[in-house]
């Protein structure tokens, strides 16, 4: 923004077309097909930018789901979204040669999050890293970890310029280790050790070397549109499972990545790779600062000065009606999904009948919004009404369903093309806006 040297008027252009002012609104719901994001997990979305960040930008396979949500959000700002996916054929990209399916946070916490020294981790051949969500979009993500206090090696690390110094020992681990060792040396029957308790404990604590730097890079430009863009960086995170920052939040690298990264998950602690076979390269990562005192030199150690890998093997397969129905099933619990409006997007009559019979008619606390099939009304001059009525008759009679009359053609700014999109997102959005204006 320009700095005025004297009284005047400064002009600036701000694109507000993707943001709706925050309003207390009726909650909408939708389940559909996306390229990214958690599978079969409810996520609250407030605007189109949030939508594209969480579930990816639209393409030929996902645009109807994306714009159904985006159109709803052009009227309001409270939408619960669930991604549907075929988890038998859709895989996360990994740094290894063994496929994994980590659809959401619950699956990761229960089955894939490693404990100390890789206890409870998945097979080593999955590699150290996986894309955060299943699908081909995760291919090309690169992760690089620098875990040592070696200043010479740090200067040669490709991503050193993104950090302001070499990792060493965090204050939390230093103070914990020093205090514990000081008491051990002070209470030792060896008078030589007791006499140097302060010096010895300080030396050991300073060399614990729990800190590391991590970067996530978009080598293909799938997320940033510019190949080799650094998407995320995490400075001075800790290998100690109990490490905290000054504000009390966890600084354990596994927790930091799990809570903050939008792109990756950690499957294993440090691994070495020989002949395309992976094996553990550490026995200390994930130990607490108290447990590290029993390790060699009270030090967090590993065999290599860096761990860098590009993720591959991510696969996206077609989504079936059964997959969509399973995604909509996340709305069955009214406490977990407190919606008033539920949109069907371009769902088939099979999915719509499932939702009407098993969710809407059971809960009886929201309205279901349905559109005719695209084949009913697009390029069907003179037959639109008849076709739409035939589709409507498949659903029987219910006071909990609203069916509109068609599809609209709208511009897809992400791909510079026009798309046919069902109207139920707009109709539900108008209802939410009316709820607000009439409140």
Grade residue 215 by pLDDT with cuts at 50, 70 and 90: very high
Residue 247, in any domain of the structure: yes
Domain's final residue, options 249, 282, 310? 310
The more confident residue out of 285 and 180 is 285
Q: Average pLDDT in the 215-222 region?
A: 97
pLDDT over 60 at 229, yes or no: yes
Q: How confident is the model at residue 415, as a pLDDT?
A: 96
**Mean pLDDT over each residue of the chain, to the nearest integer:** 90
Q: How confident is the model at residue 193, as a pLDDT?
A: 44
pLDDT over 90 at 298, yes or no: no
pLDDT over 90 at 392, yes or no: yes
pLDDT over 50 at 391, yes or no: yes
Measured distance CA(57)–CA(59) in Å, rounded: 7
pLDDT over 90 at 8, yes or no: no
Considering the domain architecture, whether residues 141 and 271 belong to the same structural domain is answered as yes
Is 135 within 8 Å of 124 (Cβ atoms)?
A: no
Structure tokens at 437: 């204006």
pLDDT over 90 at 174, yes or no: no
Q: Average pLDDT in the 168-172 region?
A: 91
pLDDT over 50 at 195, yes or no: no
pLDDT, tens digit, 9 for 90 and up, residues 68-108: 999 999 999 999 999 999 999 999 999 999 999 999 999 99
User: What percent of the chain clears pLDDT 90, i.e. is strictly above it?
Assistant: 75
Phi, psi of 72 (to 5 degrees): -60, -45
Q: How confident is the model at residue 192, as a pLDDT?
A: 43
Considering the domain architecture, whether residues 138 and 252 belong to the same structural domain is answered as yes
The more confident residue out of 122 and 405 is 405
Q: How confident is the model at residue 127, as a pLDDT?
A: 93
Q: Average pLDDT in the 26-35 region?
A: 97
Considering the domain architecture, whether residues 67 and 158 belong to the same structural domain is answered as no
pLDDT over 90 at 276, yes or no: no
Q: How confident is the model at residue 182, as a pLDDT?
A: 57
List the single range of 132-136, 297-301, 430-434 with lowest mean pLDDT.
297-301
Residue 14, in any domain of the structure: no
Q: How confident is the model at residue 191, as a pLDDT?
A: 43
Q: How confident is the model at residue 178, as a pLDDT?
A: 74
Residue 95, in any domain of the structure: no
Considering the domain architecture, whether residues 114 and 195 belong to the same structural domain is answered as yes
The more confident residue out of 342 and 179 is 342
pLDDT, tens digit, 9 for 90 and up, residues 35-57: 999 999 999 999 999 999 999 99
Residue 16, in any domain of the structure: no
Q: Give 310's strand partners.
A: 142
Residue 12, in any domain of the structure: no
Q: How confident is the model at residue 270, as a pLDDT?
A: 93
Q: Which residue has the tokens 């985006």?
A: 70
Considering the domain architecture, whether residues 281 and 177 belong to the same structural domain is answered as yes
Structural domain boundaries, residue 416: 28-86+320-437
Considering the domain architecture, whether residues 285 and 417 belong to the same structural domain is answered as no
Residue 98, in any domain of the structure: no
Is 349 within 8 Å of 391 (Cβ atoms)?
A: yes
Considering the domain architecture, whether residues 235 and 269 belong to the same structural domain is answered as yes
How many Å from the N-terminal Cα to the C-terminal Cα in the chain?
39
Inter-CA distances, 94 with 141, 206, 262, 429, Å: 9, 35, 15, 39
Grade residue 21 by pLDDT with cuts at 50, 70 and 90: low
Residue 391, in any domain of the structure: yes
List the single range of 94-98, 153-157, 234-238, 278-282 with lowest mean pLDDT.
278-282
Considering the domain architecture, whether residues 204 and 279 belong to the same structural domain is answered as yes
Measured distance CA(57)–CA(222) in Å, rounded: 10
Q: What sign results for the dihedral spanned by CA atoms 68, 69, 70, 73?
A: positive
Residue 94, in any domain of the structure: no
Considering the domain architecture, whether residues 159 and 302 belong to the same structural domain is answered as yes
List the single range of 126-135, 270-279, 386-395 with lowest mean pLDDT.
270-279
User: What percent of the chain clears pLDDT 70, i.e. is strictly above it?
Assistant: 88
Considering the domain architecture, whether residues 367 and 417 belong to the same structural domain is answered as yes
How many structural domains are present in the chain? 2
Q: Which long-range contacts (CB under 8 A, 24 or more apart) does 15-24 make?
A: 18/47, 18/48, 18/49, 19/47, 19/48, 19/49, 20/47, 20/73, 20/74, 20/75, 20/76, 20/77, 21/77, 22/46, 22/77, 23/76, 23/77, 23/436, 24/436
Q: Average pLDDT in the 410-438 region?
A: 94
Considering the domain architecture, whether residues 152 and 239 belong to the same structural domain is answered as yes
pTM for the full predicted model = 0.87
Q: How confident is the model at residue 15, as a pLDDT?
A: 67
Helix (H) or strand (E) holding 323: helix 321-328
CATH classification at residue 370: 3.40.50.11780
pLDDT over 70 at 282, yes or no: yes
Grade residue 297 by pLDDT with cuts at 50, 70 and 90: confident
pLDDT, tens digit, 9 for 90 and up, residues 324-333: 999 999 999 9
Considering the domain architecture, whether residues 139 and 288 belong to the same structural domain is answered as yes
């Amino acid at each position: 923004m320009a700095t005025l040297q004297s009284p005047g008027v400064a002009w600036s252009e701000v694109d507000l077309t993707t943001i709706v002012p925050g309003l207390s609104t009726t909650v909408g719901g939708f389940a559909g097909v996306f390229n990214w994001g958690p599978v079969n997990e409810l996520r609250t979305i407030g605007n189109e930018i949030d939508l594209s960040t969480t579930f990816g930008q639209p393409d030929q396979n996902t645009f109807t789901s994306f714009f159904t949500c985006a159109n709803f959000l052009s009227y309001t700002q409270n939408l619960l979204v669930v991604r549907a996916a075929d988890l038998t054929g859709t895989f996360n990209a990994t740094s290894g040669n063994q496929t994994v399916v980590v659809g959401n946070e619950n699956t990761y916490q229960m089955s894939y999050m490693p404990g100390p020294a890789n206890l409870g981790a998945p097979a080593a051949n999955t590699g150290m890293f996986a894309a955060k969500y299943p699908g081909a979009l995760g291919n090309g993500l690169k992760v690089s970890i620098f875990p040592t206090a070696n200043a010479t090696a740090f200067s040669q690390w490709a991503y050193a310029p993104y950090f302001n110094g070499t990792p060493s020992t965090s204050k939390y681990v230093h103070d914990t280790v020093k205090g514990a060792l000081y008491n051990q040396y002070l209470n030792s029957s060896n008078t030589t050790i007791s006499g140097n308790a302060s010096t010895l404990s300080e030396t050991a604590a300073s060399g614990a070397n729990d800190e590391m730097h991590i970067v996530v890079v978009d080598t293909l430009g799938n997320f940033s549109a510019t190949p080799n863009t650094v998407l995320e960086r995490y400075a001075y995170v800790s290998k100690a499972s109990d490490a905290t920052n000054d504000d009390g939040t966890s600084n354990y690298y596994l927790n930091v990545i799990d809570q903050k990264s939008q792109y990756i998950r950690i499957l294993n602690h440090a691994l070495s790779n020989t002949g395309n076979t992976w094996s553990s390269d550490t026995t200390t990562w994930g130990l607490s600062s108290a447990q590290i005192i029993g390790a060699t030199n009270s030090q967090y150690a590993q065999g290599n000065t860096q761990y860098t890998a590009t993720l591959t093997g991510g696969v996206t397969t077609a989504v079936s009606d059964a997959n969509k129905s399973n995604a909509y099933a996340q709305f069955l619990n009214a406490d977990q999904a407190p919606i008033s409006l539920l949109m069907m997007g371009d769902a088939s009559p099979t999915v719509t009948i499932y939702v009407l019979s098993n969710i809407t008619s059971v809960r009886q606390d929201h309205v279901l919004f349905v559109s005719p099939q695209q084949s009913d009304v697009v390029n069907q001059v003179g037959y639109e009404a008849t076709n739409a009525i035939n589709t409507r008759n498949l659903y029987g009679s219910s006071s909990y369903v609203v069916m509109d009359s068609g599809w609209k053609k709208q511009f897809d700014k992400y791909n510079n093309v026009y798309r046919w999109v069902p109207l139920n997102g707009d109709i539900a959005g108008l209802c939410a806006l009316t709820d607000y204006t009439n409140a």
